[in-house]
Amino acid sequence: MFKIKCLNSIAQSGLSKFNGKFKIVADMPEAHGILLRSHDLHNIDFPPNLEAIARAGAGVNNIPVERCTEAGIVVFNTPGANANGVKELVIAGMLIASRNIIAGINFVTEHCNREDLAKFVEKEKARFAGSEIQGKKLGVIGLGSIGVLVANAGWNMNMEVYGYDPFISVDHAWRLSRHIIHVNSINDIYSVCDYISIHVPLSDETRHMINKEAFKKMKAGVILLNFARDALVCDADLAAALASGQVKKYVTDFPNYRTANLEKVIAIPHLGASTAEAEDNCAQMAVRQLIDYFENGNITNSVNFPECDAGICQAAGRITLYHKNIPNMINQFTGVFFRENINIANMYNRSRGEYAYSLFDIDSPTGLSLKKNLLAIPGVIKVKIIK
């Protein structure tokens, strides 16, 4: 029985996919797996039996990934599951920023008790005039699951769309409309675009990538949209750019006390994935990944382990090893199988940085002695018997 601890409310459409081999538990110390959304794990001691953490969402800033990697705990996320929900909110952000919609709604609310309201708004509506987005230039920085959808949606609304992503995957490149202008320098986005939408992960390299130097290169009066991560934009430099008019509006789904108090900022309370459909998609994907890992040893959409898809085990036994990515490990593993007179039917080995993941299908049932002997090899961190 695999015991799963939920640290946030997870959509029932996902939880219902667990079969009789899984049980949702209330106590953390029992957990073999953790399922969560936004719960912060950085100050939590992991139970000794914990093997996997699945986040129903894309970002994993709330998970101590490095500590999990060292302990042999696989961390899953669900890239693309909430992409459409975020895309729709980005488009809404562009429209809200362009048409002065919020100020107009607040104006009507403020004067809603006037008997002559209809005539009054007709007289005053000119102050809320805006701009259409058709024909404008949209720059999309980062062409992942969300960025591709935003770029394609911009084109479908008759915008001229520029995309920048030096690391675009083959899959995402296939999904990108042929009408999107792919640029090789981010400066080409800055210099010509009326709207810029950021869709890159937060890392040491991307932190504060939108700073005073970037703002200097942007077209005057640009509308900047950040539905990726708060710290991609330097708040102090943003304040200066807004004050000077270099940036006309800043729309963010990640408000903080600095940006939320700035004029010309439209701050949304992290609603990008807050749709019933996105929550269902994320929960279902996270649960499927946990099931496949516990039942088959397969790894899909992990942020710290290498990918591995060996399918459903058809052999008599299956065992997985998480180990250091150092020479002679495979020879040592096969030596153990040889000494125990076990034939290897299939073998998979994948590495990711300093660590590697190996899976063996064998023609004999696995036993505790095999696990013990494999775990005794220097550099082996975790051995898991699947079958």
For 312-387, CATH number? 3.30.70.260
CATH topology assigned to domain 1-82+274-305: Rossmann fold (3.40.50)
* pLDDT in the model for residue 278: 93
Percent of the chain exceeding pLDDT 90 equals 96
> Phi/psi of residue 252, each to 5°?
-135, 145
Q: Does the domain formed by 83-111+126-267 have CATH 3.40.50.720? A: yes
* For residues 207-224, average pLDDT: 98
Q: What is the pTM of this model?
A: 0.81
Q: Name the segment(s) of the chain with CATH classification 3.30.70.260.
A: 312-387
* pLDDT in the model for residue 222: 98
Task: Indicate whether 58 pLDDT > 90.
Answer: no
Q: How far is CA 224 from the centre of its chain?
A: 20
Burial 88-119 (b: 16+ CB within 10 A, else e): bbbbebbebbbbbeeebeebeeeeeeeeeeee
Q: Which has the closest alpha carbon to 343: 361, 362, 329?
A: 362
The amino acid present at 351, given as its one-letter code, is: S
* pLDDT in the model for residue 91: 98
Q: Which two three-digit tokens encode residue 26?
A: 């209330």
Q: Name the segment(s) of the chain with CATH classification 3.40.50.720.
A: 1-82+274-305, 83-111+126-267
